[in-house]
Structure 1
Amino acid sequence: MQKSLLPGFTLAISVGLACVLVQKVVPELSALLVAIIAGILLANLTKIPAVLTPGIAYVSKRVLRIGIVLLGFSIVLDDILALGWGVVSVVVAVVFGGLFGTILMGKWMGVTRSQSILIGAGFSICGAAAVAGVESSIKRKDSEVATAIGLVVLYGTAMIAVVPLLLGFTNFDDHLSGLIVGSSIHEVAQVVAVGGIMGGGVLTVAVIVKLARVLMLAPVIALLGYMERGGEQTGKRAPLVPLFVVGFIAASIFATLVDIPQGASTVISFLQSVCLASAMFALGAGIRFSSFKQVGIKPVLLGAASTILVATIATVGMIIAY
């Protein structure tokens, strides 16, 4: 690693590690959410020294991709298939319906295509990690990435309070509630937070459904890469399927076929959490409130519309599938 990367790299990894340890002590706090907020506070309350910038940027891309690959080890395909093809079909509908529905609404509202794609991916797949994964496959501005991640934090955090309240007015059992929670909320950490509030029966189902949505990240990135190239691939452009996506799929297949020892699984889970939390801090450090003034209200409204769209597809679909 180049020496110029060390200061920012060390800071981001240290903050990520600290956030994971905080979650160990206070499980109700999401390490990823705390890390994003820490990055946002750093970016908006102080001027980040130039010496830190290269290392933070490195973590926001390279370390994030390592975290996504490690996330694949938590996805056992047998658990997802056990949900039944009806539920799996709803998950596919949520991801692609949410993504392309958001793109269409964005076009109607006058939001740029790239901004609409980033918001749609984040809201329909797995939050900030999806935004960061997809941004490498399309032409976009850094400000659009920051906006999409900021909106994921805004609306996903709001859902932690709203979803348990709304489901509390229904007579849905824990299994159906878990299906709806896992298929409608943006971030894995936010799903865990809501599942924890509603109880263990909801939590287990919700996490499995959410991981099924995470698995859709690979085909979505491949599809968007193909669309970006107009169906053609040239030697000057990045691979159609990024290497980290291949690693993510390989890790999931490995976890499905091999019984990973508990000790190794714990280590992998810890490293994954540190990598993703560090990357979320780095991404948060790129979010400046001043940029939202330049963006305007349209992406914020699109985020609200996308949240409602994804939640509607998820709720109606899961009720029918159940």
Structure 2
Amino acid sequence: MNIQRIQYLASMTLIPLIAVVSFAVPLSSALALVLGLVIAVTVGNPYIAKTRKLTSNLLSIAVIGLGAGMDLNVVGRVGAQGVGYTVLGISLTLIVGYILGKILKTERDTSILISAGTAICGGSAIAAVSSSIKAKPHEISVSLGVVFLLNALALIVFPFVGHHFNLTEGQFGLWSALAIHDTSSVVGSTLQYGPHALEVGTTVKLARALWIVPVTLFFGYLTSRKQESSAGKTKFPWFILGFLLAAALVTWIPQLQEPGKFVNDLAKRLLVVTLFLIGANLTRDTLRSVGVRPLIQGVLLWIIVGSITLGAILWGWITLA
């Protein structure tokens, strides 16, 4: 009983304390995420409902703040250049995910959610598509668990692989945006690699996230559930518009560029806090909820997508002018 009491008190104290430290003291995004994971697995997260909600809100605020450090001309150019391979990449990922789901005999809706999360933007896509196909709670939980695990792994693996292949910052930002699930992990990974990698990765990922709407509508139509329109239920990531607005303000109003740099720095610190909370959300119950088949499907799909996009970038098939 005493040990349990100590663990409870430790978890009550450690999570808010390290969240504050993560904002105040420069920590790497990978270290922040690992700290959150260690706390969640060892002493638990008594704030799990609050931190899950807070994670989404903080991510939105952080991404909007990152827009204050971007040039809208670059954002527009990168987004326009990426339309072709975005459509092709999303389509191929969904097809390969479907095939893997069939081979592994993963539950249909779980397979769809994992594929959509891999193809577009992780948890946001899963949340949107799940409402369209009316997925069951355990299917959503399992899909999110797979994505969270791979997001955590990406923060450690991607910078290592990028340096191994001597990717430029632009190449690494592009690869991260195409092969990492969630926006938070794309930003966290590219933040470690360099400022230009962060700029490219964020703009490409946010442009890709816009495809949540057509993909959600597609699955809603495909499932043909009672002919109810799921468009009104689509959880569109409105922070994308905030990002674009912040970028537009600092681009077109020169006087805002210096304050924009300050806001951008705060946003990067807030992102580190967000990644710590993402790690803290990976409790033992969440890890246990991830079944073997969905996990295998998610890992295989992630490796296939990551390998193909990396090869295409190295061979010059996918580039940003």
- Normalising by structure 1, we get a TM-score of 0.69
- Separation of aligned partners in 1, 2:120 and 2:222: 18
Query: For the structure 1 residues 170 and 251, does the alpha-carbon distance in structure 2 shift closer, same or farther, using more than 3 Å as the test?
Result: closer
- Conserved? CA contact 1:181–1:195, under 8 Å: yes
C-alpha separation in 1, matches of 2:243 and 2:286: 35
Residue 240 of structure 1 aligns with which residue? Answer: 231
The equivalent position to 2:317 in structure 1, one of 312, 315, 320, is: 320
Corresponding residue for residue 127 of structure 2: 132
In the other structure, the counterpart of 2:4 is none
Which is worse superposed, 276-285 or 122-131?
A: 276-285
TM-superposed deviation, 1:117: 1.7
Tell me which residue corresponds to 1:110. 105
Residue in 2 that maps onto 1:304: 299
Query: How far apart in 2 are the matches of 1:130 and 1:24?
Result: 31
Is 2:148 the counterpart of 1:153? yes
1:291 and 2:292 equivalent? no
Aligned residue in 1 for 2:220: 225
Cα–Cα, structure 1 residues 276 and 198, in superposed 2: closer, same or farther, change >3 Å? Answer: closer
Q: Is the 8 A contact 2:27 2:272 kept in 1?
A: no
**Distance between the aligned counterparts of 1:309 and 1:215, measured in 2?**
23
Query: Per-residue deviation at 1:171?
Result: 4.6
Cα distance, 1:36 vs. partner? 6.8
Are residue 97 (structure 1) and residue 95 (structure 2) matched? no
**1:138 touches 1:224 (CA, 8 Å); kept in 2?**
yes
Taking only aligned residues, the RMSD between alpha carbons, in angstroms, comes to 4.3
Query: In 1, distance between residues paired with 2:120 and 2:152?
Result: 16
Q: Which runs of 5+ in 1 are unaligned?
A: 1-10
Q: What code does the residue aligned with 1:242 have?
A: K
Aligned positions of 1:149-298 closer than 5 A: 149-229=144-224, 232-233=227-228, 239-242=230-233, 244-245=235-236, 247=238, 251=242, 254-255=245-246, 262=259, 266=263, 280=278, 284=282, 287-292=285-290, 295=291, 297-298=292-293
Answer yes or no: is the 8 Å Cα contact 2:151–2:180 preserved in 1. yes
How many residue pairs end up in the alignment? 295
Whether contact under 8 Å (1:99, 1:120) holds in the other structure is: yes
Tell me: CA distance 1:96–1:269, structure 2 relative to 1, closer, same or farther (3 Å).
farther
Question: What is the rounded CA distance, in whole Å, between the counterparts of 1:161 and 1:130 in structure 2?
Answer: 23
Structure 2: runs of 5+ lacking an equivalent: 1-10
What corresponds to 1:29 in structure 2?
29
How far did residue 282 of structure 1 move? Answer: 9.2
Q: What is the CA-CA distance between 1:253 and the residue it aligns to?
A: 6.1
1:171/1:116 CA distance change after superposition, 3 Å: same
CA contact 2:63–2:243 (8 Å) conserved in 1: yes
Deviates more, 1:31-40 or 1:210-219: 31-40
Residue 240 of structure 1 aligns to which amino acid in structure 2? A
- Determine if contact 2:37/2:279 at 8 Å carries over to the other structure: yes
- Secondary structure of 2:134's aligned partner: coil
1:39–1:226 Cα change, 3 Å? farther
Q: Which residue of 2 aligns with 1:87?
A: 82
TM-score, with structure 2 as normaliser: 0.69
What are the Cα deviations for residues 250-293 of structure 1, in whole angstroms up to 9, with x where unaligned? 54665566559647x949959x969977995896469434434x
| Contact 2:90-2:120 at 8 Å conserved across structures | yes
Change (3 A) 1:269 1:87: same
Q: Which residue of 1 aligns with 2:3?
A: none
Provide the rounded CA distance (Å) in 1 between the counterparts of 2:92 and 2:275: 28
Greater mean deviation of Cα atoms: 80-89 or 176-185: 80-89
Aligned residues of 1:138 and 1:225 also touching (Cα < 8 A): yes
Q: Which amino acid aligns with 1:245?
A: F
**In the TM superposition, what are the counterparts of 1:40-119 in structure 2 within 5 Å?**
40-41=40-41, 56=49, 73=64, 78-83=73-78, 85-119=80-114
